Chains A and B, each alone.
Chain A
């Protein structure tokens, strides 16, 4: 549909007067408040209605996969931090699990528990940003600031743990870099306690606000089939009503020991798979993460935090393995090809946002500009991991 032809009721005349109207091509990004980074969407619109969306990527491309060829296995952990800079712990986790799977190394129990606590705290932190910025896309400023307030508390814990507030480089192959500090458990439990109260506040302020529901329900519906086809994972897939989560369905680390629900979209305010469903899945996942953290804190044993039988310079046996873990955005997969050396032969990152964003090409046409903004916001993309 490149041109819309509007014919008026003058067909009976000798020469019908045909009015041509053109589509408006408009660049949303790379500097645009709604694109959550440096994404460029080439949008063709007919008035307020979007006719086609074409994402252009690469503004944040650093070719970390090429850099991997020059790093050793441990060094590249630093770069995984920078994929999803809103959830570096989850990225670290994915890479650590991937390499450990190939090394077949036993990670100490304590490290496993610390990892799970960190990953779940990070999931909460990441979802807080997702929720806050989603609200911001809708024009609600205040929830964003509240979300950041709670996120800061989580970052304080991470700062005490790893020394960094944003890029932690905390996980290491075979364990974690530092042991948990003395009152780590108390702090985490307090944070969880605070978080559970704040979720109620967010629900009142944003989730069940009528305007918010109007803006998100029945908007940007992505059904399960589309999710499978476009490789959407994480809250997008679960929002479409598929209770799939790598933590339960393809367990890694020690996630099989914990009891938790997998929230999925049920179309409470509209259709299954609309923006509101994706939003509420994140909201409920935060509660579930709190549950996991409580169990993990209870079960955390004493002991090593780093695998003692691992050398400083890791050499991974030759082979190829695709390992996936559940980050806050979805399935983060590391396809690792090793040649037996101390450096990766090929590290391919299958980032969740990359596939999640792709679906916008499919669902974008036909919606209004405001809905496009809402849908992109509900996909919760991070350009760091799309462009890598």
Chain B
């Protein structure tokens, strides 16, 4: 936000009160973040369809917008905006209408602490990482609301599964990031990224073997956290029809969609900032930091897509088994191991 407020100060001079500066800067940043989210949905739906297509020996969308159907998501968005908004008669209407926004806002709030480039962060919180994990916990509540309010049995199943899954996988997700916090000594996202400057060898992913393992575990847990295959329990389209958003149409469905792809990008951004050196390039000085950050995040998104379109889905009990009996012990091992590593290598002293 510093860059934004700096810009605003330049434009309006010193005449603005600090409060007005804070509010206007915050609003600008929120607007930018909302746009980023919308762009995420548009870009990544197209990318997902193309990646899935080429993985499966087909092209994916080719018609709209000339080159490889680049405007397909725009057309889809227009279509979905024009659709009737159906609220089932027996649904709990207030919750039904509210839940897409709960999920959306939960996702949007997390963006506040993502450092895209030096100074380009909505809110440079001291507890940045902690804040991100905290606010993204709003999503299970939204899913439960959606599933319950739809008054549809499949949606209820999806919601119950989804909430259980997301609550569970938050633990390995957060635990996997703890070694990094230990290494940095700070929860501030800027500080975490700054600590990784100066070439690929300073990135936390290669800091020590336990951190590499932590990255892998974080990656798996993040797939589960955003409800994508092979952990797409809340949707499980071959079992639960469409899971918690079975009854949603039109704009409300679009919000779920938006949140899903925004979350997909969000977890990749966190992984980039926390493990992959944020805006620091592989070698050399910082150059086009925003672009470097984006490239890293998009590569992670691509990997998530590759996993989704390759692997079969886990059963719900196996999912829990994987979380509690495999991931949580391993992340704890990572915390312990990297702590020992740091003590031995003398970093902590």
Contacts and interface: CB of A to CB of B under 8 A. Distances in A.
Q: Pick the most buried of A48, A138, A139: most chain B CB atoms within 10 A of its CB.
A: A139
Interface in A20-37: 24, 26, 32-34
Q: Pick the most buried of A145, A146, A371: most chain B CB atoms within 10 A of its CB.
A: A145
A197 to B, nearest CB: 15
Contacts of B58: 145
Nearest to B57: A149
Interface stretch (B8-16, B89-97, B129-137, B305-313): B305-313
A166 interface: no
B310 A142 contact: yes
Given A141-B52, A368-B316, A211 B239 contact: no
A48 B312 contact: no
A184 B312 CA distance: 37
A211 B237 contact: no
Nearest to B55: A142
Contacts of A205: 310
A373 B238 CA distance: 8
A369 interface: yes
Interface residues of A, number: 29
A136 interface: yes
Contacts of A206: 312
A26 B157 CA distance: 11
A187 interface: no
Interface string B51-62: 010011110000
Contacts of A135: 312
A368 B309 contact: no
B232 A141 contact: no
Contact of B315 (A26, A32, A33, A215): A215
A212 interface: yes
A370 interface: yes
Interface size range of chain B in the complex: 20 to 34
Q: Pick the most buried of A24, A136, A140: most chain B CB atoms within 10 A of its CB.
A: A140
> Could you tell me the dominant secondary structure of chain B's interface residues?
loop
Contacts of A373: 238-239
B229 interface: yes
Contacts of B316: 48, 368, 370
B239 A369 contact: yes
A114 to B, nearest CB: 30
B245 to A, nearest CB: 15
Q: Pick the most buried of A138, A370, A371: most chain B CB atoms within 10 A of its CB.
A: A370
A137 interface: yes
Interface in A279-305: none
Nearest to A369: B239
Given A135-B312, A140-B310, A215-B312, A33 B56 contact: no
B309 A141 contact: yes
B310 A26 contact: no
Contacts of B63: none
B84 interface: no
A7 interface: no
A140 B311 contact: yes
B157 to A, nearest CB: 7
Given A145-B56, A211-B314, A214-B318, A139 B232 contact: yes
Given A34-B239, A145-B57, A371 B312 contact: no
A201 to B, nearest CB: 12
A369 B157 contact: yes
27 contacts: A26-B153, A33-B237, A34-B238, A48-B157, A136-B238, A137-B238, A138-B313, A139-B229, A139-B232, A139-B311, A139-B312, A139-B313, A141-B309, A142-B56, A145-B56, A209-B312, A211-B313, A212-B312, A214-B315, A214-B318, A215-B314, A215-B315, A368-B315, A370-B236, A370-B315, A371-B315, A373-B239
Given A139-B230, A140-B313, 10 more contacts: A32-B241, A137-B239, A145-B58, A146-B57, A211-B314, A215-B318, A368-B317, A369-B239, A370-B315, A370-B316
Interface of B: 52, 55-58, 153-154, 157, 229-230, 232, 236-241, 309-318
Interface of A: 24, 26, 32-34, 48, 135-142, 145-146, 149, 205-206, 209, 211-212, 214-215, 368-371, 373
